[in-house]
Amino acid sequence: MITFFYDILFLKVGGVMSNSNFLWEIIIKKLKTEVDPEVFSTWIEPNFIDFVDMKKKIVTICSPNLLISEYLQNFFDIKIKEIIKSSTSVEFNLFYNYLEDDKTTIKESKKNHYKNTEDVILENFFSKDKPSGVQNIFSKQHFSDKSYTKPKDALNYNYDKSSLNKKFLFDNFVVGEGNVHAYNLAYSCTVAPGEHNPLFIYGGVGLGKTHLLHAIGNELVDNYPGYKVKCVTSEQFLNDYVNSIQIGNKNKNAAEEFRKKYREVDALLIDDIQFLSGKTGIQTAFFHTFNELYLNQKQIVLISDREPNDLDGLDDRLVSRFDSGVLADITPPDYETRVAIIKYKCKKNNISLDDSIISYISGNISGNIRQIEGILKEIKFKSTSVANITLSMVENIIKHRVKNIKKNITPEDIINVTSDFYKISVDDILSSKRNKEIVNARMIAIYLCRELTNLSLPAIGKLFNKDHSSIFYSNSKISSMILENTNNILNDIENIKEKLKKI
């Protein structure tokens, strides 16, 4: 049966399969249903299978460039292997090629694949005292003066690099599910400036938008010698514009100086663009600045707390231009990402905390990274006067900062209480046994982990040794049973919750 499948799927020639992109069509058809359309079209669709070697069990995937190749390896290597195995019943090793200057460079598939953020931080982030974990999903590019084109008729304006915060780098930006898309696009702006134009990043307070903005600027300055980067807030842009008007009577060149400052650049990075709302005069000045830079293919990056269509008081022509670019939202970090952030900042600031304390902080801070930083600063201050930081001390710190503190219920608590309630061992709940009673207890434990903790579906899957789809099914199944109160399940769940409250 398997041999017959191969004969149809591939045309064997000397042990090497031709017609290999029929297999690639199978792969992308599967991936297309599981990933964001923009991610699919940008990072997956442009690739193809170069060849398939049955004797050596190797599939070689070719990408248009190094950037896409690295992304595919780090985020989809395991998934692609799974799809190939399910289609051919054979485990293949993946090799990656990328096309560069009409030459193909063959690179062996990396062993470090995409994992949950905490695991990557623990395994890689602190290796050799330099961050090198998931936040570096692309290998650093090597740039030279040859790739830099000086702007035509550039004026000798002194661009102040001090406007960039040197602490905000891609290397120390912790990536999670809520910000990975924004991170990818931000980094790609430093590899191919002007390709994603404008890049419009939006999201709530304290989620890392400004960090990414300055990381782009720092990376551009480091990689392109002489590259002119202007990074300001919209308030600074407004102040410069007003000053150019106020001193215009004394200095006839004031308007020209303002124009030089913002239009003779290679990259313009603006933070808090939403503050231009309602200010007609400055919007006109920015409109013309934007147009000139855009037409000259200079990189523009804008940061906002809302997406373009939600910016009230902004000219339609500006909204239209913002909306025509690439949009990337940043959402609050999930539980695993918060744990990773806390561990990273503890390492950086020499703070020693037990895992139970880190878990408690992660469970009670919904996502504002600045709030996490404030709590850790207070913990560090207290650590100078006490021998050990205890959970009760941290609870006291947080209760003054957070209105609704959650009870620190762990997945282990849920599994143990569920085990005790149904008189089924923990080992059986975590096993792959399919007995009806065991399956029922397991699904309820999974459902409660999803409801009462901040764990993501993949993290719960790791805990129960199940894949993402199995966890999703269990959660959906119990939700349906609750609606119909099948087998009086609602009563069981409420009883388990009551027992958890007493822990």
**Residue written as tokens 């692609």?**
80
Whole-number pLDDT of residue 467: 82
- pLDDT over 90 at 443, yes or no: yes
- Closest by alpha carbon to 162, among 234, 221, 210, 243? 221
Tokens, residue 343: 């561990």
* Residue 206 marked ligand-binding: yes
Annotated binding residue at 278?
A: no
Of the candidates 222, 225, 204, 203, the one whose C-alpha atom is nearest the C-alpha of residue 214 is 222
Question: Which CB contacts under 8 angstroms, 24+ apart, belong to 277-285?
Answer: 277/311, 277/312, 277/313, 277/314, 278/313, 279/238, 280/315, 281/241, 282/237, 282/238, 282/241, 282/242, 283/314, 283/315, 283/318, 285/241, 285/258
Separation in Å, CA 401 to CA 15, 356, 357, 405: 65, 19, 16, 9
Residue 27 CA to its chain's centroid (Å): 23
Pick the residue with more confidence: 98 or 31? Answer: 31
Report pLDDT digits (tens) over 459-497.
888 889 888 778 888 888 888 888 777 778 888 888 898
Q: What is the pLDDT of residue 86?
A: 81
Confidence of residue 153 (pLDDT cuts 50, 70, 90): very low
Residue 14 counted as an annotated binding residue: no
pLDDT at 422: 93
- Quick one: pLDDT at residue 270? 93
- The pLDDT tens digits of the residues spanning 185-235 come to 898 888 888 888 899 999 888 888 999 999 999 999 888 888 899 999 988
Residue 133 is labelled as binding a ligand: no
